[in-house]
């Protein structure tokens, strides 16, 4: 597997987390791979063979060649039908709302063709530009030109959402929501409503996804630490709480994650 990341233009660096590419030669022995929630929305372009997304144990659909991956609250499984050659844009939690007027919870746990996200004509032109580009840098140039043309004013994101996301990121997802907003005056309800529209998930769900990323990094990069050490470093109350949250999101325990061939792709992303 060849996985690379690239920094965005400075005018987009508060919105776009990074660009990434992935190349994987075809292997008939490849296993299904689990994709995990990370609190981010992504746009992906696939130049290789079709990729299966499983909707049940054996049933699958083929992903679109150019698509938006909405916020995720659960893992799902994919399996390439051949070689993989992908270019993608990973947006910060507050990033993608700057480019559309629709409520982002519309695409919760879904993947949709770009023609259903943007005007069909402009989506087609963008897809052709990306597909026909001769290099990753040329693709980045096309996507940045598109995003800068679409960019709205920064006040698209409400202050209450922006400050809550900042607090969750700074605390690696561990900040309790009740400490970030006041109950009186309906501020909690207002936050939930704005979050679903502008982020696509609730503050609690985003916090869990961000905390999961922290624990994945620790599991993969600090081999000598115990699960108890990782639980406390991630600010869980105890190891049992950590394992329960991990299994709720991942569908398997931390130890099973480390030994699972289905997690090879996620392991690559989070090392």
More reliable by pLDDT, 114 or 218: 114
Q: Is 228 found in the same domain as 159? A: no
Average the pLDDT over 228-245 and give the result: 82
Q: Is 60 found in the same domain as 123? A: yes
Average the pLDDT over 80-99 and give the result: 93
Average the pLDDT over 146-165 and give the result: 78
| Angle ∠(240,93,117) on CA atoms, nearest 5 | 125
Q: Is 74 found in the same domain as 179? A: no
Q: Is 113 found in the same domain as 42? A: yes
Tokens standing for residue 29: 């022995």
Name residue, tokens 């916020």.
71
- Say what the pLDDT of residue 255 is: 83
Per-residue 3-state assignment (H helix, E strand, C coil) for the chain: CEEEEECCCCCCCCCEEEEEEEEECCCCCCCCEEECCCCCCEEEEECCCCEEEECCCCCEEECCCEEEECCCCCCEEEEECCCEEEEEEEECCCCHHHCCCCCHHHHCCCEEEHHHCCCHHHHHHHHHHHHHCCCHHHHHHHHHHHHHHHCCCHHHCCHHHHHHHHHHHHCCCCCCHHHCCCCHHHHHHHHHHHHHHHCCCCHHHHHHHHHHHHHHHHHHHCCCCCHHHHHHHCCCCCHHHHHHHHHHHHCCCHHHHHHCHHHHHHHHHHC
> Among 31-45, 160-174, 182-196, 235-249, which is the least confidently predicted range?
182-196
Residue 228: pLDDT band by 50, 70, 90 thresholds?
confident
Q: Is 179 found in the same domain as 123? A: no
- Say what the pLDDT of residue 152 is: 62
Residue 1: pLDDT band by 50, 70, 90 thresholds?
confident
Task: Report the percentage of the chain scoring pLDDT > 90.
Answer: 44
Tokens standing for residue 209: 């996804």
Task: Report the percentage of the chain scoring pLDDT > 70.
Answer: 92
- Say what the pLDDT of residue 154 is: 46
Query: Over 50: is that where the pLDDT of 45 sits?
Result: yes
- Say what the pLDDT of residue 60 is: 93
Q: CATH number of the domain that 229 lies in?
A: 1.10.10.60
Residue 215: pLDDT band by 50, 70, 90 thresholds?
confident
Q: Is 133 found in the same domain as 82? A: yes
Full residue range of the structural domain in which residue 51 is found? 2-152
Q: Is 133 found in the same domain as 108? A: yes
Domains held by the chain: number: 3
- Say what the pLDDT of residue 182 is: 58
- Say what the pLDDT of residue 134 is: 95
Q: Is 103 found in the same domain as 41? A: yes
Q: Is 30 found in the same domain as 72? A: yes
């Amino acid at each position: 597997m060849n996985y690379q990341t690239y920094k965005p233009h400075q005018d987009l660096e508060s919105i776009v987390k990074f660009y990434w590419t992935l190349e994987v030669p075809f292997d008939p022995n490849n296993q299904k791979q689990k994709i995990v929630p990370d609190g981010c929305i992504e746009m992906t372009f696939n130049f290789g063979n079709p990729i299966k997304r499983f909707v049940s144990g054996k049933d699958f659909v083929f992903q679109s060649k150019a698509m938006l991956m909405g916020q995720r609250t659960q893992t799902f499984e994919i399996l390439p039908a051949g070689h993989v050659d992908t270019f993608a844009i990973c947006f910060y939690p507050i990033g993608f709302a700057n480019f559309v007027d629709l409520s982002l919870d519309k695409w919760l746990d879904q993947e949709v063709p770009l023609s259903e996200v943007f005007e069909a004509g402009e989506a087609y032109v963008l897809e052709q530009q990306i597909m026909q580009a001769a290099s990753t840098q040329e693709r980045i140039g096309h996507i940045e030109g598109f995003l800068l043309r679409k960019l709205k004013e920064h006040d698209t994101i409400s202050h209450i959402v922006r400050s809550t996301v900042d607090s969750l990121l700074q605390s690696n997802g561990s900040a309790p929501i009740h400490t970030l907003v006041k109950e009186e005056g309906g501020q909690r309800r207002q936050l939930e409503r704005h979050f679903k529209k502008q982020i696509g998930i609730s503050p609690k769900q985003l916090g869990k996804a961000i905390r999961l990323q922290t624990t994945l990094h620790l599991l993969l990069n600090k081999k000598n630490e115990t699960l108890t050490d990782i639980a406390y470093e991630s600010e869980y109350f105890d190891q049992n709480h950590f394992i329960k949250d991990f299994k709720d999101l991942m569908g398997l325990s931390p130890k099973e994650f480390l030994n699972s061939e289905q997690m090879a792709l996620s392991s690559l992303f989070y090392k």
